Amino acid sequence: MGKGFRNITSVLAVLAACHLLPTATYAEDWTTLNTQGAAAFQRGDLAEASRLFREALKEAEAFGETDPRLATALTNLATVYDAQGKLDEAAELFQRALAIDEKNLGEDEPKVAIDLTNLANVYFNKKSMMKLSLSTKEP
């Protein structure tokens, strides 16, 4: 796995661990799903990571549209989509996470910079894929 993949894995681990959660069942389920999703991602099991992070996103949506756990869930799933080459889906989720974090934290926070970097990486990957596609087409 490349350097960028390891960096994303590190970001996922930090994001999953940085929220203090109430003892409600949704929060416990969300935490468990994120932990399991991060483990699957680290193993390279992207299908399982995607499934677990989709479930975590469903749980996070119950916390409210501006809850930081929703931004984390969006970022985690978007990271898997990016690794799977589902770049349009990844961009959409990263944009939603960015909007939540900007609203909650302001524009000058490191987490917002990470969101912007994630989004920029997706757009870079999309551009690279388009160039590759154009260069492999027969004249």
- pLDDT at res. 108: 86
Could you tell me the residue ranges of all domains in the chain?
3-130
Q: Is 85 left (phi over 0), alpha (psi -120 to 50) or beta?
A: left
Percent of the chain at pLDDT exceeding 70: 73
Least confident of 2-16, 40-54, 65-79: 2-16
The CA-based angle 42-49-30, given to 5 degrees, is 105
What pLDDT digit, counting tens, does each position of 64-112 carry?
A: 999 999 999 999 999 999 999 999 999 999 999 999 999 998 888 889 9
CATH superfamily of 3-130: Tetratricopeptide repeat domain (1.25.40.10)
Confidence band, pLDDT 50/70/90 cuts, at residue 134 = low
CB atoms within 10 A of CB 112: 17
d(CA 42, CA 23): 27
d(CA 82, CA 93): 10
Torsion of CA 34, 39, 42, 45, to 10 degrees: -90
Report CA torsion sign: 109, 28, 93, 75: positive
